[in-house]
């Protein structure tokens, strides 16, 4: 039996950089809370890189008490995440491009104001406006009532404040920034799943990575699921924008999605009355089990890509929600262990995974903001190379029915 990992062990597992300064912004165990806080390259006496890291406590409306953490790189990206909302990424901007979308939900909603069981388990939608939402880990997918409980939409972790938040900056070039947050799903007689999330960013770069370690702290085995719900709108998403990925197979999520199966690769402009279309994808990967998925604009000079490991995240969901701009014009590229069906269906179809007592598993993803035609072209070539001579299998029948 594997030993339960301590925070220090987890830090080693996520490979913390040598010679770094660390600041603890939140620590539930000892009551640490920095509130409004800031550090910068100037304060650290760094001359050959320019960046700042700031935490703000928000006030007013449903965002009262929510925190945002902003990494700003003068010549790179501005990354905004929320420790209050499961370390979700709100949006990323840089090089004249934005990764993120415009939701009708404008505030960074404090989970204290959300009832996940409202609207028959759809309460999650009342806070949904992020670029990247971790959906899990106890369960994910569409809501269902089973086993004497409501399995709410996309689980609880995205609406769970982090119990510990740390910021780390390497003392040596290229001054890599790491933001770690410990998110706990601990319930008496139920689960004790704890996830040490980590975001890594090198100032000036057009990409960042996530490295999350999920550990079962209970004395009994426990199921887990995860979907990295990654969402993009304008200026990347537009009429004629394209979705790219090396694929073994694709199928519609439900009967409604059948109508869009022939046009799965391209997008409409904002379209009133367009209901969401979802497609289940089995991705192909290279010899190192890495794969790449992307969405690019019509001109092919802007886009966003996600690299991930198919041993960790074996399936991919494509969510097309090209409704009006006010309703939320957005697409989702969603690597996961499961598709978005209710947990009952995912169990039946053997996609729900399990951790033994004390066991951990890791998820590694790299997000890149594409801001030139050459970067888009390189991404497309990499995807074609993984596809190789494999012919895409298109199945017109959904693999399950809710």
CB 17 within 8 A of CB 176: yes
Domain 7-394 annotated CATH 2.70.98.10 = yes
For the chain, 402 residues long, give each residue's pLDDT as a single digit of tens. Answer: 334 444 444 554 445 445 899 999 999 999 999 999 999 999 999 999 999 999 999 999 999 999 999 999 999 999 999 999 999 999 999 999 999 999 999 999 999 999 999 999 999 999 999 999 999 999 999 999 999 999 999 999 999 999 999 999 999 999 999 999 999 999 999 999 999 999 999 999 999 999 999 999 999 999 999 999 999 999 999 999 999 999 999 999 999 999 999 999 999 999 999 999 999 999 999 999 999 999 999 999 999 999 999 999 999 999 999 999 999 999 999 999 999 999 999 999 999 999 999 999 999 999 999 999 999 999 999 999 999 999 999 999 999 999
Which residues on neighbouring strands pair with residue 54, listed in sequence order?
Answer: 38, 70
Q: Where are the domains of the chain?
A: 7-394
Q: And the tokens for 312?
A: 């960790």
Phi, psi dihedral angles at 135 (to 5 degrees): -105, 110
Dihedral sign from CA coordinates of 20, 25, 26, 31: positive
Tokens of 334: 């969603």
This prediction has a pTM of 0.95
């Amino acid at each position: 039996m594997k030993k339960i990992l301590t925070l220090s062990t987890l830090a080693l597992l996520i490979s913390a950089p040598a010679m770094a300064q660390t600041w603890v912004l939140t620590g539930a165990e000892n009551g640490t809370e920095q509130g409004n806080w800031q550090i910068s390259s100037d304060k650290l006496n760094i001359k050959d890189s320019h960046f700042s890291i700031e935490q703000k406590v928000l006030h007013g409306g449903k965002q009262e008490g929510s925190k945002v953490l902003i990494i700003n790189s003068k010549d790179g990206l501005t990354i905004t995440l929320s420790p209050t909302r499961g370390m979700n990424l709100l949006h990323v901007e840089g090089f004249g491009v934005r990764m993120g979308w415009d939701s009708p939900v404008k505030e960074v909603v404090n989970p204290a104001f959300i009832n996940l069981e409202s609207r028959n388990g759809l309460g999650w939608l009342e806070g949904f406006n992020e670029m990247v939402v971790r959906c899990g880990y106890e369960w994910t997918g569409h809501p269902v009532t089973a086993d004497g409980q409501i399995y709410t939409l996309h689980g609880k972790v995205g609406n769970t404040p982090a119990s510990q938040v740390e910021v780390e900056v390497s003392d040596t070039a290229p001054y890599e920034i790491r933001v770690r947050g410990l998110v706990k799903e601990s319930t008496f007689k139920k689960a004790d799943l704890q996830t040490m999330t980590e975001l890594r960013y090198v100032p000036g770069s057009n990409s960042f990575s996530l490295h999350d370690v999920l550990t079962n702290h209970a004395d009994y085995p426990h199921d887990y699921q995860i979907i990295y719900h990654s969402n993009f709108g304008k200026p990347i998403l537009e009429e004629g924008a394209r979705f790219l990925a090396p694929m073994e197979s694709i199928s519609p999520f439900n009967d409604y999605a059948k109508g869009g199966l022939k046009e799965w690769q391209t997008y409409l402009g904002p379209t009133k009355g367009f209901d969401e279309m979802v497609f289940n994808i089995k991705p192909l990967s290279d010899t190192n089990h890495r794969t790449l998925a992307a969405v690019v604009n019509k001109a092919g000079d802007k886009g966003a890509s996600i690299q991930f490991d198919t041993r960790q995240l074996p399936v991919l969901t494509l969510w097309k929600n090209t409704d009006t701009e006010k309703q939320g014009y957005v697409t989702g590229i969603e690597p996961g262990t499961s598709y978005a069906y209710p947990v009952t269906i995912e169990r039946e179809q053997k996609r729900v995974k399990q951790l033994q007592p004390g066991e951990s598993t890791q998820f590694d993803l790299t997000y890149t903001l594409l801001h030139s035609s050459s970067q888009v072209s390189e991404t497309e070539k990499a995807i074609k190379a993984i596809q190789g001579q494999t012919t895409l299998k298109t199945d017109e029948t959904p693999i399950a029915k809710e």
